[in-house]
Amino acid sequence: MHVGVLTGGGDCPGLNAVIRVVTKALINECGARVTGIERGFLGLVERRVRPLDARAVGGILGQGGTILGTHNRADPFRWFGAGGADVSAQVLDYLRELGLDALVAIGGDGTMAIAHRFSQLGVPVVGVPKTIDNDLMHNDRSFGFDSAVAVVTDAIERLETTARSHGRVMIVETMGRYAGWIALEAGIAGGADAILIPEIPYELDALVALCREREQAQGYTIVCVAEGAKPAGGTLTVQARLADSPDPLRLGGVGQVLRAQLEQHLSSEVRATLLGHVQRGGAPTAFDRVLATRFGHAAARLVQRGEFGRMVTLQGADCVSVPLAQVAGLNRCVPIDHPLLDTARSLGVSLGERR
């Protein structure tokens, strides 16, 4: 059996742990030959592959990023390097030449959408969900998320000591695209005073009231805002528009927008910190290493059983799988009746809602 492995979309901690277990499990359990495809679907268009064996995947378990490289605009059905042309036939030819019996695609919603289209064209594909955003459908937890939350939590704690010393309002902006999972969990873990998520548009006057109350009582305020958060009746803060990308809006900057808004109403100074890609880099937490390893092993098992067109997922405590058709291109946002939102409210944490 000859199996290809690729990592697509943005990188995240834990990708190497998946590459490692997929390679080892397939070699150990069925003597497979494993080929790494470089830079996601770019490698299938540019014909860039390399063999993977136990030696090639040795010592990578705790390394951030991906040893195979990745690309978040490489969609063969809408090729950024060819004015949006469909080059999928080229990829199919190359897959035939390689003689792959299976392809393991590790990625987010965009990668799963591409994997699903190839699966419909007869390619035997298995998907493995990755994203720090934790926003894949039918998947309770993505690896990478815990690591990102740990970085943001640490940042909030650091900002708290300086905010307290200067009597300031400190805003920390997280990633997460259109889902508020990172801001919500890190905000709770770091003890933020306000958590603003895309799912609940914020009322500026509610935040001003919170900061004023805290100016009197504690002297400082920590606001954790997700990049996809927006004011009630307002719009998303967009850093760039990318016409040739499967993800056409690059979000970011809402922290500065909020800083400017709050400053007009407060006597305290307001500062904003954009954490950016710091959240995505570095070593995976122990939790993410274990989850990534479980996912990779489950993917290797699907390959061995010939169960293709599926993505492995975590549902409750169980590692199961769902059809790619059910996850391709879809996002999982924070449900507005999520229990953690209620927990935040009962702690007195503002979610930007009017009281």
Rounded CA-CA distance 2/99 in Å is 7
Rounded CA-CA distance 255/270 in Å is 10
Pairing outcome for strands 238-241 and 194-196: unpaired
Nearest approach in angstroms of CB 133 to ligand F6P is 5
Nearest Cα to 349, choosing from 232, 254, 223, 261?
A: 223
Catalytic residue numbers, as ranges: 133
Rounded CA-CA distance 27/54 in Å is 8
Q: Between 168 and 280, whose beta carbon lies closer to ligand F6P?
A: 280
Amino acid identity at 224: C
Rounded CA-CA distance 198/195 in Å is 10
Nearest approach in angstroms of CB 61 to ligand F6P is 22
Residues 6+ apart with CB under 8 A from 185: 145, 149, 340
Nearest residue (beta carbon) to ligand F6P = 175
Nearest Cα to 193, choosing from 347, 312, 6?
A: 347
Nearest approach in angstroms of CB 245 to ligand F6P is 8
Nearest approach in angstroms of CB 282 to ligand F6P is 13
Nearest approach in angstroms of CB 242 to ligand F6P is 8
Q: Can you give the binding site for ligand F6P, defined by CB under 6 A?
A: 10, 72, 108, 131-133, 175-177, 227, 250-251, 280
Rounded CA-CA distance 245/239 in Å is 14
Q: Between 51 and 329, whose beta carbon lies closer to ligand F6P?
A: 329
Q: Between 4 and 108, whose beta carbon lies closer to ligand F6P?
A: 108
Q: Between 108 and 187, whose beta carbon lies closer to ligand F6P?
A: 108
Query: What is the three-class DSSP state of 14?
Result: coil
Angstrom CA distances, 24 to 58, 65, 292, stand at: 10, 19, 14
Q: Between 223 and 274, whose beta carbon lies closer to ligand F6P?
A: 274
Angstrom CA distances, 77 to 87, 88, 341, stand at: 6, 6, 39
